[in-house]
């Protein structure tokens, strides 16, 4: 029976847990400079729970599988300071390739553009990308405005966003500006609270990743999806138009999130080579792809060059909106 | 859904499920006991090993661990005045004084019983509520959150009956701390003193560890002696008395379980708040409140009932909408997604059996951890008879390690030390640490929801919604009640 096989694997895994516990609890500071070290650190600059944490942890076994020597990878959640704490931690670690971090892109460009970052994202050694996240714009069932035209004519549209200085609101602010909607952002602590607010009808507008909103708009129809920030329609929402169809094609580029992974600047070339190879193999592992699809977020591997190019473009794009962002954060 | 009730029950008693439950509970309890580690950490740690596991077994392991955390956290709260998790902070207020009186066994007995029954209560409500939970979750909006926070803050008046002025000074200090970090309206950073670490405000766990554990370690160093002020006799009857006390105060237990469940159901208020509100309720509803804070068993029962019943409540939005009610739930949601489940409207329809297994395990895990607690209490109590010179350094080290462990940041350790010194000074000069903690926890919730309400509806938003208005009236009544009572008495006499 399937269960028996699973069970044996599971028990073994539990035995390993004690070891893991000790390493996780005591930081596992490895003094070796070699790469890959026995223990590597994957910095996640947000708290456990949520997409970044889930998908980063999902990738870990595949990185272990494809890195030479199958190193132990310890996940380190270092939340706070709008991702700055975790990014700094990685950025300032020894450039031996044993510490790396997941990023929220293009959101993480905002700190650099506003001058609050103590790092230069152009200098990060980009290893590749995990996935691409498509956003859906939804309105509340109780909202008075249920089409783009109505939204554009409305005297004021409220939107549930996560923290104003935060970058999660970036897409909403930019979209509202481009479409000529008078939007008033109402800050929330997390996307879940904002989505609930829209379900209650307290705010009109929320936009979050399709994978997050799927159960609310596809499974239960608690919110009305108006458009999708993508070049092509989603098979999950065949009737929902794309921003391109609505005449705002450039928003498809701007309001799309990526989950790239980076290591400190100036990695030695031999380390880079091993990493590039292993990261590419891990993100292209068929097993990993299966898991990502099951979680409603197909993997989207990128080569290090493609990732670095995306980063440069993202920084330029956010720079164009600097004044708009400042208006909302002052 | 109810037709799968029996098959689901059989499932969790089928080998190897009990083994997984046992291991999960043991691990959850250990994480609960260690300050700084708690539900989110144990779930995150278990996450990778559940990959590829049978879904039902994975749920048994995860929920078993999650269920054991709150009671685990209460053990150090009672024994050494160090809440193992933020949810157990209110258990310190009376649990530790009981330990000082040599009644740690009683406190642990009461805590285990209230935890276990509270969890069962929460799970029962969850089961009944699942079909209609939607409406309940959507009833609460920002004005209601604000009124809940206000209600919690009003407790400060009651806890500071020795000196209202000192209580208010402590409360204002706590409220000032709660303004550090992002401004909820403008999004600008306030009072961060140039440190990224303060952008999100003062982290609660390091602050609690400083205020209670480190403050206590200082005190132990100076006082010498031992925590318990009595001779060790090793009575089992204490534990039994603790268990009985829950039944003797069953009304209180019941009301606090309701409070915990409701707060659990409301996403975003969280476990750190439920135990304070329940504690406050116990204070305000008792006729002889003068013993609270000095070792009243009711002060243990109330927060313990609430912080365990809230898990059942928090599963309501998680299961119905796929929207997590707390950080633990967010991690759990991630774990379930990785397992190929999708909590939310579809899972309820398509996999009712899994939903029921989840609820049963929550109950079973709580029963198991409480049994561990009751049978282990005799041993744990001995800790309070260890000479302070031996215990204090251990408490000190555990506390510093705990504040480091949550995020692996030395900044949190420094924060704990600062709060430790503050706590020591406050204790010396008779200021209430409880007031600081309550204000710190609820201040942020109050600020945020106050502004959200004003931005959307203006001032009238607070008073035109029935639940919000009702909560406001109850709060005012609770604050004024002692004065009115006194006035009436005076009149009767004259």
**What does the pLDDT read at residue A295?**
82
Residue A209, strand partner residues: A135
- Is the CB of A123 inside 8 Å of chain B's CB atoms? no
pLDDT at A31 over 70: no
> Can you state the percent helix, strand and coil of chain B, rounding each to 5?
80, 0, 20
pLDDT at A22 over 60: no
**Model confidence pLDDT, tens digit, residues B204-254:** 888 888 888 888 888 888 877 777 777 766 666 788 889 999 999 999 999
Q: Which member of B57, B185, B330 has the closest CB to residue A10? A: B57
Give whole-number Cα distances, A329 to B186, B187, B446, in Å.
6, 5, 21
**What does the pLDDT read at residue B235?**
66
**What does the pLDDT read at residue A168?**
59
All domains in chain A, ordered by first residue: 16-132+259-329 (3.40.190.150), 133-254 (3.40.190.10)
Q: Which member of B327, B407, B408 has the closest CB to residue A49? A: B327
Q: Which member of A9, A215, A330 has the closest CB to residue B346? A: A215
pLDDT at A249 over 70: yes
Least confident segment among A148-152, B310-314, B369-373: B310-314
Q: Which residue of B has its CA nearest to A190?
A: B268
**What does the pLDDT read at residue A77?**
86
Least confident segment among A12-26, A306-320, B66-80, B405-419: A12-26
Give whole-number Cα distances, B433 to B100, B213, B269, B428, B438, in Å.
18, 12, 22, 11, 9
| A293: closest CA of chain B, how far (Å) | 10
Least confident segment among A69-83, A162-176, B126-140: A162-176
**What does the pLDDT read at residue A162?**
81
Whether the CB-CB separation of B90 and B279 falls below 8 Å is answered with yes
A215 vs B contacts (CB less than 8 Å): 321-322, 342-346
- Is the CB of A158 inside 8 Å of chain B's CB atoms? yes
Mean pLDDT across the stretch B393-413?
A: 85
Mean pLDDT across the stretch A131-152?
A: 93
Q: Between β-strands A183-188 and A99-102, what pairing exists: parallel, antiparallel or unpaired? A: unpaired
**Model confidence pLDDT, tens digit, residues A274-292:** 999 999 999 999 999 998 8
**Model confidence pLDDT, tens digit, residues B373-401:** 988 888 888 888 888 888 888 888 888 88
| A224: three-class secondary structure by DSSP | strand
Rounded distance between C-alpha atoms, residue B74 and residue B433, angstroms: 18
Rounded distance between C-alpha atoms, residue A156 and residue A140, angstroms: 15
Whether the CB-CB separation of A234 and A240 falls below 8 Å is answered with yes
Q: What is the 3-state secondary structure (H, E, C) of B287-321?
A: CCHHHCCCCCCHHHHHHHHHHHHHHHHHHHHHHHH
Across the interface, whether the CB atoms of B268 and A17 are under 8 A apart is answered: no
- Is the CB of A2 inside 8 Å of chain B's CB atoms? yes
| A294: closest CA of chain B, how far (Å) | 6
**What does the pLDDT read at residue B187?**
67
Average confidence score pLDDT of chain A: 85
Rounded distance between C-alpha atoms, residue A256 and residue B356, angstroms: 38
Mean pLDDT across the stretch B41-49?
A: 80
**What does the pLDDT read at residue B268?**
63
B182 vs A contacts (CB less than 8 Å): 163, 165
Mean pLDDT across the stretch B38-67?
A: 84
pLDDT at A122 over 90: yes
Whether the CB-CB separation of A213 and B322 falls below 8 Å is answered with no
Across the interface, whether the CB atoms of A47 and B346 are under 8 A apart is answered: no
CA angle in degrees (0–180, nearest 5) for A319-A325-A328: 170
**What does the pLDDT read at residue A27?**
45
Taking alpha carbons only, the member of A126, A185, A282, A310 closest to residue B186 is A185
Domain that includes residue B285, residue range = 2-493
DSSP 8-state class, residue A118: S
Number of domains in chain B: 1
Helix H or strand E encompassing B434: helix B433-457
Rounded distance between C-alpha atoms, residue B209 and residue B203, angstroms: 10
Chain A, window 297-316: residues with a beta carbon less than 8 angstroms from a chain B beta carbon: none
B44 vs A contacts (CB less than 8 Å): 48, 53, 57, 75, 77
B415 vs A contacts (CB less than 8 Å): none
Q: Is B457 exposed, middle or buried (CB count within 10 Å of its CB: 0-12, 13-18, 19+)?
A: middle
- Is the CB of A10 inside 8 Å of chain B's CB atoms? yes
> Can you state the percent helix, strand and coil of chain A, rounding each to 5?
45, 20, 35
Maximum distance among all Cα pairs of chain A, rounded to whole angstroms: 63
Rounded distance between C-alpha atoms, residue B50 and residue A102, angstroms: 22
Mean pLDDT across the stretch A254-266?
A: 92
The answer to whether the complex's ipTM is over 0.85 is no
Interface test with A, best of B29, B30, B41, B44 (most A CBs within 10 A): B44
Rounded distance between C-alpha atoms, residue A266 and residue A39, angstroms: 21
pLDDT band at A29 (very low <50, low <70, confident <90, very high): very low
pLDDT band at B275 (very low <50, low <70, confident <90, very high): confident
Q: For residue B135, give every residue at least 6 positions away whose Cβ sits within 8 Å of its Cβ, in sequence order, or none.
A: none
Q: What percent of chain A has pLDDT over 90?
A: 50
Across the interface, whether the CB atoms of A27 and B142 are under 8 A apart is answered: no
* C-alpha radius of gyration, chain B, whole number: 22
pLDDT band at A4 (very low <50, low <70, confident <90, very high): very low
Q: For residue B367, give every residue at least 6 positions away whose Cβ sits within 8 Å of its Cβ, in sequence order, or none.
A: B116, B120
| A105: three-class secondary structure by DSSP | strand
A13 vs B contacts (CB less than 8 Å): 49, 53
Least confident segment among B63-72, B441-450, B463-472: B441-450
A73 vs B contacts (CB less than 8 Å): none
B445 vs A contacts (CB less than 8 Å): none
| A141: three-class secondary structure by DSSP | coil
**What does the pLDDT read at residue B49?**
79
**What does the pLDDT read at residue A16?**
46
pLDDT band at A26 (very low <50, low <70, confident <90, very high): very low
**Model confidence pLDDT, tens digit, residues B246-259:** 999 999 999 999 99
CB pairs under 8 A between A and B: 180
With tokens 């996999």, the residue in question is B351
Q: Which member of A14, A80, A163 has the closest CB to residue B187? A: A163
Rounded distance between C-alpha atoms, residue A52 and residue A101, angstroms: 11
Cis amide linkage into residue B203, ω under 30° from 0: no
Q: How many CA atoms lie within 13 A of B219 on its CB side?
A: 20
Taking alpha carbons only, the member of B242, B357, B358, B372 closest to residue B304 is B242
pLDDT band at B269 (very low <50, low <70, confident <90, very high): low
B331 vs A contacts (CB less than 8 Å): 48-49, 53
Helix H or strand E encompassing A127: strand A125-140
């Amino acid at each position: 029976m399937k269960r028996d096989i699973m069970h044996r694997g599971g028990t073994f895994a539990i035995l390993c847990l004690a070891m893991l516990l000790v390493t996780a609890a005591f930081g596992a500071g490895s003094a070796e400079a070699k790469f890959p070290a026995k223990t590597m650190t994957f910095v996640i600059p947000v708290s456990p729970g949520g997409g970044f944490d889930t998908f980063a942890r999902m990738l870990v076994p595949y990185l272990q599988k494809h890195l030479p020597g199958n190193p132990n990878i310890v996940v380190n959640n270092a939340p706070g300071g709008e991702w700055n704490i975790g990014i700094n931690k990685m950025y300032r670690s020894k450039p031996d390739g044993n510490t790396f971090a997941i990023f929220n892109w293009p959101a993480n460009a905002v700190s650099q553009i506003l001058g609050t970052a103590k790092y230069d994202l152009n200098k990060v050694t980009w290893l590749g990308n995990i996935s691409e996240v498509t956003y859906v714009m939804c309105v509340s069932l109780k909202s008075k405005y249920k089409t783009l035209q109505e939204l554009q004519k409305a005297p004021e549209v409220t939107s549930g966003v996560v923290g104003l200085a935060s970058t999660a609101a970036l897409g909403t602010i930019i979209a509202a500006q481009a479409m000529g909607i008078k939007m008033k952002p109402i800050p929330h602590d997390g996307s879940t609270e904002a989505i609930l607010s829209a379900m209650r009808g307290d705010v009109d507008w929320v936009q979050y990743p399709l994978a997050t909103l799927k159960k609310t708009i596809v499974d239960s129809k608690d919110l009305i999806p108006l458009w999708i920030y993508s070049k092509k329609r989603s098979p999950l929402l065949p009737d929902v138009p794309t921003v391109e169809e609505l005449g705002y094609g450039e928003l498809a580029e701007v309001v799309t999130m990526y989950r790239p992974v980076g290591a400190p600047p100036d990695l030695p070339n031999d380390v880079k080579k091993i990493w590039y190879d292993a990261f590419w193999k891990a993100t292209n592992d068929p097993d990993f792809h299966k898991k990502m699809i099951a979680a409603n977020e197909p993997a989207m591997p990128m080569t290090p060059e493609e990732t670095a190019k995306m980063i440069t473009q993202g920084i330029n794009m956010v720079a164009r909106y600097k004044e708009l962002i400042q208006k909302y954060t002052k | 859904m109810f037709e799968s009730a029996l098959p689901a029950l059989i499932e969790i008693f089928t080998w190897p499920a009990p083994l997984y439950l046992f291991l999960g509970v043991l691990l959850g309890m250990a994480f609960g006991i260690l300050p700084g580690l708690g539900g989110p950490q144990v779930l995150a740690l278990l996450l990778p090993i559940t990959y590829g596991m049978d879904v039902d077994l994975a749920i048994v392991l995860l929920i078993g661990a999650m269920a054991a955390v709150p009671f685990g956290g209460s053990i150090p709260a009672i024994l050494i005045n160090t809440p193992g998790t933020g949810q157990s902070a209110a258990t310190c207020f009376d649990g530790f004084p009981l330990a000082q009186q040599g009644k740690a066994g009683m406190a642990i007995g009461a805590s285990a019983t209230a935890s276990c029954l509270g969890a069962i209560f929460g799970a029962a409500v969850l089961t009944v509520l699942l079909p209609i939970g939607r409406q309940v979750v959507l009833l609460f909006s920002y004005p209601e959150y604000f009124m809940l926070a206000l209600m919690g803050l009003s407790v400060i008046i009651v806890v500071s009956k020795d000196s209202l002025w000192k209580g208010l000074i402590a409360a204002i200090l706590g409220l000032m701390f709660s303004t550090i970090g992002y401004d909820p309206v403008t999004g600008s950073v306030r009072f961060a003193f140039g440190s990224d670490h303060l952008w999100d405000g003062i982290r609660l766990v390091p602050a609690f560890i400083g205020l209670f554990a480190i403050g206590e370690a200082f005190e132990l160093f100076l006082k010498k002696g031992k925590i318990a002020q009595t001779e060790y006799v090793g009575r089992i009857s204490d534990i039994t008395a603790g268990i009985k006390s829950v039944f003797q105060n069953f009304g209180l237990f019941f009301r606090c379980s309701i409070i915990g469940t409701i707060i659990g159901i409301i996403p975003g208020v969280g476990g750190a708040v439920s135990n304070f509100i329940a504690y406050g309720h116990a204070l305000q509803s008792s006729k002889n409140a003068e013993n609270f804070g000095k070792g009243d068993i009711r002060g243990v029962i109330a927060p313990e009932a609430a912080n365990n019943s809230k898990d059942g409540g928090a599963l309501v939005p998680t299961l119905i909408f796929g929207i997590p009610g707390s950080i633990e739930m967010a991690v759990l949601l991630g774990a379930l997604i990785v397992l190929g489940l999708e909590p939310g409207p579809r899972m309820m329809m398509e996999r009712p059996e899994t939903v029921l297994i989840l609820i049963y395990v929550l109950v079973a895990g709580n029963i198991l951890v409480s049994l561990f607690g009751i049978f282990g209490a005799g041993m744990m109590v001995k800790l309070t008879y260890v000479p302070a010179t031996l215990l204090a350094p251990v408490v000190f080290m555990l506390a510093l390690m705990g504040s480091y462990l949550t995020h692996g940041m030395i900044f949190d350790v420094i924060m704990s030390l600062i709060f430790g010194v503050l706590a020591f000074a406050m204790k010396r000069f008779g200021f209430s640490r409880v007031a600081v903690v309550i204000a710190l926890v609820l201040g942020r919730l109050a600020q945020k929801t106050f502004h959200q309400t004003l931005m959307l509806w203006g001032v009238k938003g607070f008073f035109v919604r029935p639940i919000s208005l009702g909560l406001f009236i109850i709060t005012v009544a609770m604050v004024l009640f002692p004065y009115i009572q006194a006035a009436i008495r005076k009149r009767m006499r004259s």
